[in-house]
Amino acid sequence: MIYSRIIRCLVVSVLLVGCAATAQAQNLSHSTYFGGTRGDGGYAFPIVVSPDGDVYIALRTDSSDVPLAGTPVQDSFAGRGDLVIARFNSDLSELKASTYLGGTSEEGAWPSIDMALDEDALVIAFPSSSMNLPASADAYQASRKGDSDIGIVRLSLDLSTIQACTYLGGSDMEGFVSVALTPEGDVVVAGSTLSRNFPRTDAYPAGLSGGRTHGDIFVCVLDPELTTLKSSRLLPGNSDDVAEALCIQSDGTILLGGWTRSTNLASYEGSPDYHGGPYDGFVVQLEPDLTISKMAYVGGSDWDFVYAMAVTPDQIAISGHTASLDFPTSSGVIGKSYLGDGAANVGDDAFVTVLDRSLNIVSSTYLGGEGWENATALVSVPSGWVVAGQTNSAEFSGASFDPQGDNPYATEGFLALLNARLSSATVLQVGGEGIDCPAALANSPDRNVFLLMGTTSTDLPITDGAWQAENAGGTLRMETMIWSGDVWIGRFQL
């Protein structure tokens, strides 16, 4: 299993690239810790903000004493690893509701949890090895079929009621899950599967076509009540493929971003050529009926990974990390050349690439310094793009950083506001003395940006009135890596 997002981060100095002026922590308006005395967080876990400004997070926990509020749908820890869903007010001073969610085994163990917000519910998707998730009587799939299936839960906004719940999977393993909602309210789920009998609808062929470590990508559409599999397919490729990001545009077009070893991923007449190296990043566009309409490899001659995606009506931005010295960049951007000093997985740079609706590159830039970088979260803002990730460079895209900790990969986080053309950036260092793992970004109605991260740091900046002022302790270990202890939420004015 490759864990290329290995990370750490959070405190604050700011540099406007191209200017001598610096700013301080006034960009951070509100923050709080959240968690119990064991490990809370995970590999990839989401944050969403409702139209009224309330903040929802979902995470994996090993803690039996996570703070609960409101009327939890599940009021106790049930297994070897549960989910926790929490709802905060907009200034992070009040925990309005929280609940455990899970069965008697593990939830979220094969990387990633995701969540989408509907008008009256949250839809949460996660890997589950539990046999006793509270599946609905009319659920599409009432029981687990493999070692780890995808659990999908529709949960009321006050976190008190499960409106619908289903499993989704075949006889092996599913993971790396993302979820989004169509304009009509249907639930789109994407991820990776090792199951040769993953459920499909009749329009698409059966069976895996390549990967044996991470498997093939699946894309499914279920009705809002999670009772009917309306369409489902695997994306063909001759090796391992992972979809890390899922977006749906206003016309129902589905966009997937991720990384692949397949030289023929999602092939069709006229499809592009693989760029080379052990992995390429990719973007695939599917029509609402899951027909592949466009596909683009993104990368150079070494490895390239796409981890995050954000869309506007006219553009698609992706971010991740690369070891390719010939990764495609455009004129006038802040990072025209690769700055990493060392081999792949030692000196990788982060990148941000903006594509048009035809998946042609509009602008593309490296981000980073002499060390290791990755960009794991991305959102669109009126002035451009906000990207978050991690670095161990002493100088990051023109800003002086102070790396701490002993992570062999990255020790500090960054939060960067890039203009639309990627020609300038405001860069913030965000990090403490421990392991800090940025997981997700979300916009708020008042145009602030929320950053969610897992952390073992006890010295992250906490603002007055924070709901939880101190790290409650613990570590969360997944396979051989420690990822977090508590989670930390920061609200930034950018």
- Among candidate residues 38, 84, 37, the one with its CA nearest the CA of residue 57: 84
**Token duo for residue 268:** 């069709």
Indicate the burial class of 269 (C-beta count within 10 angstroms; 0-12, 13-18, 19 or more): exposed
3-state DSSP call for residue 109?
Answer: coil
Nearest to 286, CA basis, from 300, 307, 265: 265
CA distance 329 to 429: 24
DSSP reduced 3-state for 254: strand
Residue 272: the pLDDT is 87
Alpha-carbon distance of 277 to 433, in angstroms, equals 35
Bridge partners of 388, per DSSP, are: 377, 415
d(C-alpha 375, C-alpha 377), whole Å: 6
Buried b (16+ CB within 10 A) or exposed e, 183-207: eeebbbbbbbbbbeebbbeeeeeee
- Tens place of pLDDT per residue across the chain (494 aa): 333 333 323 223 333 332 222 233 559 999 999 999 999 998 899 999 999 999 999 999 999 999 999 999 999 999 889 999 999 999 999 999 999 999 999 998 777 899 999 999 999 999 999 999 999 999 999 999 999 999 999 999 999 999 999 999 999 999 999 999 999 999 999 999 999 899 999 777 666 666 667 789 999 999 999 999 999 999 978 899 999 999 999 999 999 999 999 998 987 777 888 888 899 999 999 999 999 999 999 999 999 999 999 999 999 999 999 999 999 999 999 999 999 988 787 889 999 999 999 999 999 999 999 998 999 999 999 999 999 998 888 898 888 888 776 665 567 788 999 999 999 999 998 888 888 888 999 999 999 999 999 888 899 999 999 999 999 999 887 766 777 889 999 999 98
Q: Work out the burial of residue 402: count CB atoms within 10 Å of its CB; fewer than 13 is exposed, 13-18 middle, 19 or more buried.
A: exposed
Enumerate residues 6+ apart whose C-beta is below 8 A from 340.
323, 346, 347, 348, 349, 368, 369, 370, 371, 372, 373
CB-CB neighbours of 11 under 10 Å: 21
Angle at 124 between CA 122 and CA 125, to 5 degrees: 160
CA 262 vs CA 210, 271, 299, 315, 381: distances in Å? 8, 13, 13, 25, 33
Spatial distance between the Cα atoms of 217 and 188, rounded to a whole number of angstroms:
13
* 245, β-bridge pairs: 257
pLDDT, position 266:
84
Task: State the burial class of residue 387 (Cβ atoms within 10 Å of its Cβ: 0-12, 13-18, 19+).
Answer: buried
- The two tokens of residue 240 are 């391992």
pLDDT value at residue 407? 60
Q: Using CA atoms in the order 6, 11, 13, 16, what is the torsion angle rounded to 10 degrees? A: 50
* Domains in the chain, CATH or no CATH each: 10-492 (2.130.10.10)
State how far the Cα of 131 lies from the Cα of 396, in Å rounded to an integer: 46
Estimate the share of the chain in helix, then strand, then coil, as percent rounded to the nearest 5.
Answer: 0, 45, 55
pTM above 0.85, yes or no: yes
CA angle, corner 167, sides to 165 and 168, nearest 5?
A: 130
Helices (H) and strands (E) in the chain, counts: 0, 35
Q: What tokens were used for 265?
A: 């991923």
